[in-house]
Chain A
């Protein structure tokens, strides 16, 4: 019996070839095992259980048709072939879509049914699939997905690689790298599931499940790969449907269902790999030799009696083994001049293999499904934007220029006012606060006043600006650590509320009140959440800090109303996490009331809402917040909600003019460079979230832009002045055309700076 086994890579993220060979050698001492590899650097070729090694040239050099003929000839001659390399399995299924009796890998239809991320063939198993989206969606929606999942998401390649994403900048850089590596823009984002990882390994032949085990990870590597685990029988609620699925898919070969068990005992199926797992010999040590079951099933032999299990548990060690004399080691490539570290491309050329398969996608439906993109979708533009665009597309003066979107702003303020009114109850009045720092434009402050917003200021100068725009001091809230900077600008009349950012700040506020230098209807404190890094607010992370806060609160004079302020940018934490933070903070408020004897009458919450999140199910959210506050803090009569950038961000756009259009790149995958007269100085937030973009030609015709192959370079002589990448522009784009960056009315506007103006 001759068995060819591929997938011999044996680094810290190993392939299973060596484990399969070890298991087969135990079961079939006389079998001829031939390792198949595509690089001499894959150290598994030196493993002693192989009788011989079929070392091929790396994938980038290999003639795929010639290689396919070789494999088919081997199979026809009665040799078995176990592939342990996902891409090779996929390729073999395209060459032999209906399989081959001696090819111990799944057929094409089965692979289609278990393709990630959807794993459509999992029906019947007691598992869920974590939520995912394709990167074919507009950036705007990808950002929304990340926010919706609290920035706990993974960007995954079509076959391998999963990279944790925590920020928009992360996503942009990682998407670029993975797209280049795997020769496709078709990646996907998947929500993280927290829990314990476990896997079911299977061996099946022609639709019959021959054996299966459950492995629970007990130790993992830095990239979460198995280092140790225990082997258990597969529970019947998994085994029974699994048998049916294997039959339905006519599965042949090994397989692995990678799952996570969450704290509620729910199983989540992350991936269904079309080959044995790398830990497969660990199962053999526990008396479950799946590799042997597979070979016996395929050859009609009696499955060899398993060795008495030595243990239910296995672990790994690092071993040095002799190098086989016929495969002397290659030299290590020299580091690039002046750089750090050795440049080691994937030794077997796996990435180049992916590229070759992509080039043949037309004749390989499986590959086409995994990698091909029809067209990138464009972000939807709200109706009010369209109205505003129709009015401004002809009348933009000197660029770069911020363009006010009056209809959009008015609609947002109006909607916010309606939400506040409908969320108010007999006991609690809901009001919004306009954050002046987010955009101190008088038009926006004026609209806020007209729509019943309070003004939220972080400095006396901002208080003054609100008053100068028409606010009365008792409509202005002052908070933050900078309230004593330019304090001469503070009015003598009472402010609506003053919130202290530290115990020292509270003492100073109380002194100022006592001396008549400051007056406010409500004096309060800002709380710093103990589980999220923040520089703002009074900490409660230790018993002593909490005690100090209680004692300081008790010093606030009885005749002054007491309030608590909690602000955290939901666009950074994610909406779900923000809501949890709020619930936790309301509990803390209840505790502070109980321990200090001071009742909370005003609660100020919010900050940093992304516009779409703030609007999405806003009435329902406000209703639940009001009922939470009513239940836990019965003395609160005013709930101030500060939507932060939710109102200001959509209210302005930044217009830039195209200065120069470079020729399209000659290399495939290259980016066409277009220079604009704007820069990161006017668009400082472009690192943090995507902006919807509109192209306006010189006849005033406009169109929204999606993802494409243009890189927009800013006018500054700064390496990082790239205002957008992967933008689609019309082929006939001309110098003088305009690009409008929507969603620039918040910190893009207020934090933009003058640079390069001479």
Chain B
């Protein structure tokens, strides 16, 4: 029964709309600020923790410590910094927003990345139930696809790496189909000076546009 993911591979929806259509206008998640000391303290705490936890590692290392401190789970938006840092669990958007802050403090070129991933219907049903139990929006679930937020790091030679803050690993465009396969991507870089095509492993990536990841041969 778990092979249903294979049966529901959808390159395009029946309407002819692209696979990312349900989320094409979605902005990436921002954590709000009360404009007061409470959120200042929270932001500073996050930054201090990241510098401590980085230890001697490269600034290009993913901030794995976030997943040691927070679980991935439902969240109700909007959320403020002072609330977010005290949560036991955060959704992918909040984790990505925190990751972005960590990379920026380290001086790393990093940007929000939005992706569409394929899973099984049974997985989506479980997530739907869990999010509804917490009265959180299930807008990110549709059929066998999910909307997910990550962080894209731009390194030398116009190379992109995509950090999945909710899993603590770097994504690969090679996982293009099947359970967990990445089906579409948008990297949001309005302020990035360099234009043109980037490379994610061997795959060309256009910035600021949704693009369907071609199915691997």
Contacts and interface: CB of A to CB of B under 8 A. Distances in A.
Contact of A580 (B37, B55, B156): B55
B55 A540 contact: no
B131 interface: no
B86 A543 contact: yes
Interface in A186-219: 194
Interface string B60-100: 11000100000000000000001001100000000000000
Interface string A572-610: 000011001101100110010011000000000000000
A265 B53 CA distance: 20
Contacts of A150: 56
A707 interface: no
A262 B56 contact: no
Given A583-B51, A584-B51, A543 B45 contact: yes
A751 B93 CA distance: 53
Interface stretch (A328-336, A506-514, A544-552, A622-630): A544-552
B105 to A, nearest CB: 10
Contact of B49 (A262, A530, A576, A594): A530
Contact of A194 (B37, B57, B155, B172): B57
A528 to B, nearest CB: 10
B86 A312 contact: no
Contacts of B56: 150, 576-577, 580
Interface residues of B, number: 28
A588 B55 contact: no
Contacts of B156: 265
Contacts of B61: 194, 263
B15 interface: no
Interface string A213-250: 00000000000000000100000000000000000000
A230 B42 CA distance: 41
A150 B56 CA distance: 10
A520 B54 CA distance: 36
Nearest to A194: B57
B52 A262 contact: no
A584 B106 CA distance: 12
A691 to B, nearest CB: 29
B4 interface: no
Nearest to B62: A263
A531 interface: yes
A264 interface: yes
A531 to B, nearest CB: 5
A270 B156 CA distance: 25
B52 A263 contact: no
B48 A588 contact: yes
B44 interface: yes
A194 to B, nearest CB: 6
A262 B58 contact: yes
Nearest to B48: A588
Contact of A587 (B51, B155, B172): B51
Contacts of A529: 52
The winner among B42, B57, B172 for most chain A CB atoms within 10 A is B57
Contacts of A581: 52
Interface string B19-57: 000000000000000000100111011011101111111
B37 A263 contact: no
Given A150-B56, A530-B49, A540-B48, A265 B155 contact: yes
A312 B174 contact: yes
Contact of B85 (A312, A531, A543): A543
Contact of B42 (A540, A543, A588): A543
Given A546-B45, A591-B48, A263 B57 contact: yes
Given A529-B52, A577-B55, A546 B41 contact: yes
Max chain A C-beta neighbours (<10 A), residue from B51, B52, B60, B86: B52
A591 B174 contact: no
A616 B191 CA distance: 45
Interface in A169-196: 194
B34 to A, nearest CB: 14
Contacts of B86: 543-544
Interface in A657-698: none
B146 to A, nearest CB: 21
Contacts of A547: 41
Interface string A28-57: 000000000000000000000000000000
A306 to B, nearest CB: 15
Contact of A531 (B52, B82, B172, B216): B52
Contacts of B47: 587, 591
Nearest to B46: A543
Nearest to A577: B56
A595 B38 CA distance: 10
Contact of B48 (A230, A577, A584): A584
Contacts of A543: 41-42, 45, 82, 85-86
Given A230-B172, A265-B156, A584-B51, 13 more contacts: A194-B61, A263-B57, A264-B58, A530-B48, A530-B53, A531-B52, A543-B42, A543-B86, A546-B41, A546-B45, A550-B41, A584-B54, A595-B40
9 contacts: A150-B56, A262-B58, A543-B45, A584-B51, A587-B48, A588-B48, A588-B52, A591-B47, A595-B37
In the A-B complex, the 8 residue pairs with the smallest Cβ-Cβ separation, listed nearest first, are: A263-B58, A263-B60, A263-B61, A584-B52, A543-B85, A591-B44, A584-B51, A531-B52
